[in-house]
Amino acid sequence: MESEYITHNFAPVFDSHSRILMLGTMPSPKSRENGFYYGHPRNRFWKVISDLCGEPLPVTKEDKTALLLSHRIAVWDVLAGCDIRGADDSSIRNPKANDMGIILSCADICAVFATGTKAYQLYQKHCFPKTGIEAALLPSTSPANCRTSYEELKKAYAVILEHL
């Protein structure tokens, strides 16, 4: 598979009440196809978040947005664009970061979480110098991260509850 330049094609989810910001790297092909975050059917992000918040698993974009906003969670991606092969974060070249000021100027974000190592590395390099807000690294919920069990993910992600 060849690398191609991909531009992030949907807006961040947040409002003025958002308290935490959860950042992925870049939408996967399946997420771009679905037009929303963590769109692969085997990605465990929505199950983890809904279980931690004591809510039913959201199915539609509207349900997912409502879940996030009702629990003061903002979601976006570190990158606005990059060269990438499929969903392979390790293939990322020529990254262009999103302007985190779009969210930070409107919401009282008290914690930033990167949902995977590459998102964390890119945030630290391209965003942290501008935001001054350290990101905490969480394990990826991607199906590619099969070595982390659902229970381990849920335990790691429970740290977000301290800020909601």
Does 52 reside within a domain?
yes
Q: What is the pLDDT of residue 78?
A: 98
Does 90 reside within a domain?
no
pLDDT greater than 80 at residue 1: no
Does 5 reside within a domain?
no
pLDDT-derived band at 122 (thresholds 50, 70, 90) equals: very high
* DSSP character string of 70-129: HTTEEEEESEEEEEEETTEEEEEEEEEE--THHHHTTS---EEEEESHHHHHHIIIIIHH
Q: What is the pLDDT of residue 86?
A: 87
Q: What is the pLDDT of residue 2?
A: 83
Distance, CA of 38 to CA of 67 (rounded, Å): 14
Distance, CA of 88 to CA of 3 (rounded, Å): 10
- Please say whether the dihedral angle defined by the alpha carbons of residues 54, 46, 76 and 121, taken in this order, is positive or negative: positive
Distance, CA of 143 to CA of 38 (rounded, Å): 10
Q: The CATH number of the domain where 140 resides is what?
A: 3.40.470.10
Q: Nearest-CA neighbor of 26 among 126, 95, 99, 121?
A: 95
Distance, CA of 21 to CA of 155 (rounded, Å): 18
pLDDT greater than 90 at residue 130: yes
pLDDT greater than 90 at residue 3: no
Q: What is the pLDDT of residue 115?
A: 97
Q: What is the pLDDT of residue 19?
A: 98
pLDDT greater than 90 at residue 42: yes
Q: How far is CA 93 from the centre of its chain?
A: 19
Does 85 reside within a domain?
no
Does 84 reside within a domain?
no
Residues 19-36: pLDDT tens digits? 999 999 999 999 999 999
Does 88 reside within a domain?
no
pLDDT greater than 90 at residue 87: no
Domain ranges, residue 72: 11-76+99-163
Residues 48-81: pLDDT tens digits? 999 999 999 999 999 999 999 999 999 999 999 9
pLDDT-derived band at 164 (thresholds 50, 70, 90) equals: confident
The total number of structural domains in the chain stands at 1
Does 82 reside within a domain?
no
What is the average pLDDT across 97-107?
97
